[in-house]
Structure 1
Amino acid sequence: MKQKTGLHHYFGLRAVAIFEFAKGFLVLAAGLGLLSLIHRDAQEAAEKIVRVLHFNPANHYPHVFIQAAGNASDARLWFYASAALAYAMIRIAEGYGLWYEKRWAEWFAAISAGLYIPVELYHLWHRVTWLKAVVLISNVLIVIYLVMILLDNHRQRVAATRKIKTGSIPIA
């Protein structure tokens, strides 16, 4: 049963669902990539990735990435791959729920997206970049949109309940 009455909710929820699916499948691919490094030289693989992407290995993030790969044990790779699988399953389930307009998914999406806002503010506070600002603003807009949907759904349910109680709509 569809909860929404307007196309604006339909297309908006579908857009957020596609975004959640994309995050889930991207993290799933990363987790599978980690699994492929078990029993192999992870630092060598990290150095190759940095070269292929034309990053400077002396810069901070590529250097940290290579160093972390050098310290990765098979047990740690299994742990990170398992965590990536769990995260991917949550994001894919959320995408599914939003695609089919499930109320639980709307609540979950609003809460989970809202949880990132303090972290994004913290990162932006320490070093302002355009990318961090865009991510924060996008996330805030998504949370506001999802909260508006939840409020609209609540108003629709209250109105329907009032109609049933006043006898405006016959109960089947």
Structure 2
Amino acid sequence: MDKHQNPWKIHSSETKYENNWIRITHNEGLNPAGNPGIYGVVHFKNVAIGVLALDEEMNTYLVGQFRFPLNRFSWELPEGGGALDEDPLDAAKRELLEETGLVASEWELLTRIDTSNSVTDETAVVFLARGLHQGESEPEETEQLTIRKVPFEEAYRMVQDMEITDSISVAAIQRMKLRLLGY
């Protein structure tokens, strides 16, 4: 058998829950060993979007907010969701403006990641934004945000000290640090 093909043999799939953002599917069939097995999948109806904004002095912008699923406050990059049929760059521009009031004149794809490939199909696209100027933020009604402007090296330290644990933020900040080191 080709190791790049799905070894699961699915006999039934049933949607157990669905809302505007996710769908949870229960799958039954045979696992890779040929034994009966189940697999639950959380399908995301949006692409996760992140923005690492860097100004001329190498400061970046963090967004702090209470994250309901974690039941705790989290520091992270400006993030949000983009419709599956929307250009991720357009979504990134919107999210940066909504959450920080920043507008960037230079954009570059920084990374793409699978956020948690064991139970979800969520993917994230993260951009580097430069050439910043301040506008007016427009947070969504579900967001109560705190914005911090910090030196990039401080954000990197926060990742190293596990003060930033959001997977999209960690991946983007680590990737940028490697770029700055010449990798």
TM-score, scaled to structure 1: 0.20
Higher helix share: 1
> Higher RCO, 1 or 2 (CA under 8 Å, sep at least 6)?
1
TM-score, scaled to structure 2: 0.19
| Structure with max Cα Rg | 1
